[in-house]
Structure 1
Amino acid sequence: MADSRAVRTAGSATGGAARHPGTTRLEKTIRWLFAGWVLVLFLSRFFYVAESADQGDTLWIVAGWITAALGWSLLSWIWPSTQFQLGWLGVGVALLFGGEAISTLQIVLGSGDQRTAINLAWEALGVVIAWFILHQHCGSFQFRRELLAALLATGVTSAGLGLYQHYVDFPQMAAKYAPLFDRLKQADPNKAASIRKELASENIPTDGPALILFEKRLRDSREPLGFFALANSFGGFLAVSLILAVSVVASRIRAGNRWSGKQLTLWIVVFLVLGWALLLTKSRTAWLGTGAGLVLLMLLSGRTLLTVRGLQYCVGVGAFLLFFGWGLTMFGGLDRQVLTEAPKSLQYRLQYWQATTRMIADQLLFGVGPGQFRSHYLRYKLPEASEEIADPHNLFLDVFASGGIASFLGLVLIGVVLFKDLGTEPETEAPVSGANPQWGILLASIAAVAWLLLLLSGADDRLLVVLPVAMGLFWGLCRVLDGIQAETSLLRAGWHAAAFTLMCHLCGAGGIGMPAISLLLLTLIDCGTVHRPGLQNSMRGKVDIRWLPLSAFSLLLLCGLITTGIRPISITQAALMSGDRLVTKGQLSAAELEYRKGEQADGWSSESTRRRAELSYRQAAADHFRSNESFLNAVQLLNDAKRRNPTYFRDDVRLAEWWMERWRASQNSKDAAQAVAALERAWDRYPTNAILMSELAIACQRAGKLAQAREVAEKALRQEAINREWGHVDRYLEESRKRELESLIGETAS
């Protein structure tokens, strides 16, 4: 029985090549090519900014996964040998993403940011397809071994990039842009406009709280980011890589393998680079997750680390980490504030969680929808909180808020699957005789093609260096892992511990909404789960026509993705860029045509309509609002943009600014009253914004609503006092505005 189970498991990823002596060389080659394509698709998530999925920037990866689904269905039809099995993990995945799919429908019907919801719906589908295909491959230890080498190579390469950012790239940015910020504060209006234009060309905020936060981070922070937008997300990925590396080393210790000089050097570099970059991220949640993962790994390792040799390694690693941490502190890589401000960071998170819990109570069944958290959260944000966060910094609250109760139950079930198999010995598999050299050649070829495509599409030029280094490191790690011919309990425990590390990190940090992070978590759990022959459909030697409809469905999905995602987004982005260039040249009519083209291409996006509104307002302002038609057209266009994203409070703020500018020209209280109405709508969506309240108070005064003006001004000053008490410098009112509000209160009181 054990032998039959071993043979079955060993061949599941390669389509039965190990099980059936009749497998042809052509079938085996094609299946290895397909497995390589799957692995490259999985890793491609970590070489692109993970946080940009909501903008549609990574839909090309989804297209790759749909193509892989088409290929998998065709292979299963031509050579029907697939072991189709899902189990409880599949039920959890279905609930998790099914809840988000239902939530997306209500957004598309008009209750939120439609374009973002559509993008993330496609991304969620891509994750489900990716997990399904990876699930069929993760039953093979040979695939898991190659996946382990690939993850470690990606982690170490990203960590090396992070070190470069910390010591070279970010200091150069500070030296370049910090003087511009100093000049901006002292410049006259004409010079300030020129400086803002220069900053905007580099996608740097030019005013408001965003500018304050960017300047503060640029001057005071050097946390590496890798290919992520946030150091916390990068730290979570590095923590996973570090735990996997520890499991490999611990497995070799248990096996009593001797280390060659090259192998010892390689593992020293792996731990040095990963640990160094992880510490520099200053991600306390990633550190805690790493500690939790190491503890779990030790508990699951049995007596491996309790031997004399194991204890020697532990003492040596511990001493090295202490010395390493001391060295980083001495040379400025770390500071005491990382630890001393931990209670404040926890306090902030408690504020996020409290507000999110109230929000979930109002959206219990379906949640607010994917990508909609921030716009809804602002209504519930506590007065003492500062950040306009994009997620609640908690794994379970994030899922519950986005997908409702179904998604939450799915996540709980996935966690149960993880802990259910803790400590379970892996099934005995047929030994693997070293790494197949096709892997290195195959992945190098595919990665080279992907690399060229990325460069031709204008992607990050850092890939010129990073991808070749990652491929070389992958090849070296494959050679090192040659000696591991069958999975041990420690390697299985490593997958468990890595998944547990990531979950612990995500309980205090955001990221589960990123396709890269959610797919990573599911894959780690899948690799650590015992693949039993339970729910499966063995088709060896059969022709099953069900794969033909599946192939057709994959083609329909690909067409749908291109039609509703990739094509309209690419056309709109090109139109917006072209329109913006024409505006800088003063060719407003031509810019209007470009924006209209983007608007017609994407009926779910509001940005093209918003740009058209700005153009129309610009024409009205240039005419000193003598043309009522241009102004009302601008208002109408902005209201059209709001209908595609009704929860975006800044549209109402912008609308109020327009009405107030018209009031300054007309001195008509009706114009000020329109501004009041717009600001009241914005305030309803963001009731703790002192700046917004101050604008409303001034507008009420201009509209002759003195009692309301005084009431709102008092609330604005109370919120300002709270902001100063908590040290939220990006939320402070300007001194001139404070004096204006105090004067308003005094005048209305008399």
Structure 2
Amino acid sequence: MSLAAPSGQTAAQWLRRAVIVIGAAMLAALPRFTTCAGFLGVPGVPGPPIVLLIGLMLWLMPVLMVASWVAERRATLPAAWLAVPAGLFVLGAAVSTAVASDKASAMVRAAEMTGLWVGLFALVQAIRTDAERRFLLAVLVATALVSAAVAIHQATVGMPKAWDFFQANREEVLAGYGIEPGGFQEQAFIDQFFGGVRASMGHPNVLATFLTLGFFVAVGLVREKWSEAGSRGARALATVMAAAAVACAAGVALTHSRAGLAALAVGLYWLAVAWRVRKRRVRVVLYVAPLVIAAVALAAATQVDHPAVTGAVKTLRYRLDYWWATLRILRRYWDTGVGLQNFGNHYVQHKVAWAPEDVADPHNMLLSTWSTLGLAGATALALLAVGTVREWLRAARSGSVRSGDAWPDGARSGDAWPDDAWPGDAWSGPEPTSRDRKGAVSRGEPVLALLVPVMLIAGPVAIYVFVMGWYRGVAATAVMAMVIGLGAGEEP
């Protein structure tokens, strides 16, 4: 009995799904490796072999995608416009590397980032069905849950044991790290035992970013699955997602990240507004209200003398110092940028005199991208913003609906939810049925949730990095790796 060779369309589908599987694996692995690993190697973290393997997998994704087009005898690009900003990112990496003071570090990082951008582009083009999108979401939540579990164990077991060991072997431990006993370096070392946990990430803020993202995806899936009336399996999955959300929230709290906690609070508030408020103007006011309140509270906090408040204000002042120095760097390198992994070399030359520390990143997505990748990188971000707004407006003109209310105009009950639908616009169509609500919820709910943590943690421009693939579905969650690698602030 001979097996018939698969048709071109079947082979193309297998190849495309291989891209999705690799993308899911990268989604699980990259949050750690983009902040802890490096090709040049650092003791105690993944070195060249692991980085090479990850790079191979990232570059294999576009190769498989091209092979699927050959098998299908046509190139299908659901999000072809993303090739322009992706190309500009690569161009910016090449130009900035040519003028970088530390060309070796810039070249290695540029190669790593180019692999991320190319792999992400291939992944966005590969996603076609709801099942594939949900698979990526499930991988994201599962990875966040594991990270949250590690963080909880680290806070309750690992850190106390490490502190006891340090107290019993203080001199030996300090000598092993090359720290002089009794100095400020020892105090900084001790503070790590009582600071925020980081699990396997490079910094507590990075872990908070990732767990906040996982939290809101889980919340969106809880809403989606709980809306599937009459399905015990869906309700059981909703319960699992709820438990994952609780674990992620606990992990964020243990990082001691103020921005992460603010993202949880404000994000839940925004989701409640999106799900319950029907009038568009009222929703807009309610969306903006917490940001206005936060700005007023921050201004008032500068006049309050309390340890908890002064600590937050102090952190903000540090950020302003970073940004001011970055603007001074941009006066000279506005066109080419200084190169990836080179910001710290220039920061020490341009920082304000009273700045107490040196940093390797301006702690702002826009300034980080512009200062390292130059005008090409900044233009790429602008194109992502314009392209995203264009897709939102196109969806609104074609008759998008408020998430969870009904199908858009012209869609049949058996059709997939449009990839570019934006939850929040009112629709005056016929009264939706329960099946309509089930289908609408399945595609709309997590979208707004993913915008929240990025807005509050990585900076407004990073929103567009996430949503650049969202009108095609959840493939944009893979951008989280790039946001963490380039946008999230890391202390030196």
For residue 382 of structure 1, give the secondary structure of its aligned residue in structure 2: coil
SS of the aligned residue for 2:201 comes to: coil
Separation in 2 of the partners of 1:418 and 1:289? Answer: 22
Following superposition of structure 1 onto structure 2, how do residues 21-100 of structure 1 map, counting pairs within 5 Å?
A: 28-48=13-33, 50-53=35-38, 55=40, 57=47, 58-100=51-93
CA shift for structure 1 position 235: 0.3
- CA drift of 1:488 comes to 2.8
TM-score by length of 2: 0.71
CA offset at residue 217 of structure 1?
A: 2.5
Among 122, 126, 142, which residue is 2:115 paired with?
126
The letter for the 2-side match of 1:234 is L
Q: Distance in 1 between matches of 2:183 and 2:105?
A: 23
Displacement of 1:47? 4.9
Residue 172 of structure 1 and its aligned partner are, at CA, apart by 1.5
Q: Which residue of 2 aligns with 1:211?
A: 185
Task: State the one-letter code of the partner of 2:356.
Answer: S
- Is 1:168 aligned to 2:157, yes or no? yes
Distance 1:86 1:41, change over 3 A: same
Distance 1:60 1:297, change over 3 A: same
The residue matched to 1:410 in structure 2 has which SS?
A: helix
**Count of matched residue positions in the alignment of Structure 1 and Structure 2:** 403
Partner of residue 415 from structure 1, selected from 379, 385, 390: 385
Asked if the contact 2:224/2:442 (under 8 Å) is kept, the reply is: yes
- The alpha-carbon distance between structure 1 residues 155 and 196, as it changes in their structure 2 partners (threshold 3 A), is closer
Residue 471 of structure 2 is matched in structure 1 by: 529
Deviation at 1:410, TM superposition (A): 1.6
Of 196, 215, 223, which residue of structure 2 is paired with 1:242?
Answer: 215
**Within 2, Cα distance between the matches of 1:65 and 1:415?**
25
Quickly say closer, same or farther: Cα 1:127–1:213, change in 2 above 3 A.
Answer: farther
Query: Contact 2:9/2:72 (CA < 8 Å) preserved in 1?
Result: no
Q: Is residue 138–residue 526 contact of structure 1 (8 Å, CA) maintained in 2? A: no
Matched, 1:271 2:245: yes
Residue from 322, 337, 359 that aligns with 1:352 = 322
Q: CA deviation at 1:246?
A: 1.8
Instruction: Note the alpha carbon deviations across 1:268-308, whole angstroms, 9 max, x for none.
Output: 421220111111111112233344544544454465899xx
Equivalence for 1:384: 354
Residue 493 of structure 1 and its aligned partner are, at CA, apart by: 4.9
Q: Which residue of 2 aligns with 1:281?
A: 255
**Distance across 2 between alignment mates of 1:172 and 1:374:** 34
The CA deviation at 1:82 is 3.6
For the structure 1 residues 530 and 136, does the alpha-carbon distance in structure 2 shift closer, same or farther, using more than 3 Å as the test? Answer: closer
Partner residue of 2:337?
A: 367
Compute the displacement of 1:264 (Å): 5.5
User: Structure 2 matches for 1:96-111, cutoff 5 A?
Assistant: 96-107=89-100
Q: Which residue of 1 aligns with 2:489?
A: none
Counterpart amino acid of 2:207? F
Contact 2:174 2:186 in 1 (8 A): no
Q: 1:500 Cα deviation (Å)?
A: 4.4
d(CA) in 2 for partners of 1:292, 1:419: 23
Q: Which residue, out of 121, 142, 147, partners 2:136?
A: 147
CA distance in structure 2 between the aligned counterparts of 1:371 and 1:429, rounded to whole angstroms = 51
Q: Residue 83 of structure 1 aligns to a residue in which SS?
A: coil
Distance in 1 (CA, whole Å) between partners of 2:236 and 2:438 is 23
Whole-angstrom CA distance in 2 between matches of 1:207 and 1:397: 38
The answer for the alignment partner of 1:230 in structure 2 is: 203
Q: Report the equivalent of 2:446.
A: 494
- 1:116 equivalent among 99, 105, 114: 105
* Structure 2 contact 152–251 (Cα < 8 Å) conserved: yes
In 1, the alpha carbon distance for the partners of 2:102 and 2:75 equals 40
1:78 CA displacement: 2.8
Aligned residue identity for 1:506:
A
Which residue of structure 2 lines up, in the alignment, with residue 595 of structure 1?
A: none
State the distance in 2 between where 1:493 and 1:420 align.
Answer: 21
Structure 2 CA distance for aligned equivalents of residues 430 and 229 of structure 1:
46
1:53–1:59: 8 Å Cα contact kept in structure 2?
A: no
- 1:248-327 aligned at under 5 Å gives the runs 248-252=221-225, 256=229, 262-263=236-237, 265-301=239-275, 303=277
Correspondence list, 1:550-589, <5 A: none
Greater Rg over alpha carbons, structure: 1
Structure 2 Cα separation of the partners of residues 296 and 262 of structure 1: 26
Taking only the aligned residue pairs, the percentage that are identical comes to 21
Structure 1 residues 208 and 105: alpha-carbon distance in aligned structure 2, compared to 1, 3 A threshold:
farther
**Quick one: structure 1 residues 294 and 61, their matched pair in 2 at CA, closer, same or farther if it must change by over 3 Å?**
same
2:134 partner SS: helix
**Aligned AA for 2:327?**
T
Decide whether the 8 Å contact of 2:12 with 2:67 is kept in 1: no
Q: Write the distance in 2 (CA, Å) between the matches of 1:484 and 1:270.
A: 27
The structural deviation recorded for 1:87 is: 4.4
- Map 1:446-461 onto structure 2 (within 5 A): none
> Equivalent residue of 2:37, what SS?
helix
Residue correspondence of structure 1 range 392-403 to structure 2 within 5 A: 392-403=362-373
Deviation at 1:503, TM superposition (A): 3.8
8 Å CA contact retained: 1:495, 1:528:
yes
What's the offset of the Cα at 1:48? 3.7
| Counterpart residue type for residue 333 of structure 2 | Q
Which residue matches 1:714? none
- Which amino acid in structure 2 is aligned with residue 272 of structure 1? V
Q: Is the 8 A contact 1:370 1:403 kept in 2?
A: yes
The CA RMSD over aligned residues, in Å, is 3.7
- Distance change (3 Å), C-alpha of 1:127 and 1:499: farther
Change (3 A) 1:361 1:299: farther
Report the CA distance between 1:100 and its aligned residue.
2.4
Given the superposition, is the C-alpha separation of residues 490 and 377 from structure 1 closer, same or farther in structure 2, using an over 3 Å criterion?
A: farther
Shift of 1:350: 1.2
Cα distance per residue 1:505-540 (max 9 Å; x no partner): 1129xxx9xxxxx8x984x42442258xxxxxxxxx
**Is the contact between residue 104 and residue 121 of structure 1 (CA under 8 Å) also seen in structure 2?**
yes
Cα distance in 1, alignment partners of residues 16 and 464 from structure 2: 25
Shift of 1:237: 0.7
In the alignment, the residues of structure 1 paired with residue 438 and residue 245 of structure 2 have an alpha-carbon distance, to the nearest angstrom, of 24
CA distance in 2, matches of 1:418, 1:231: 30
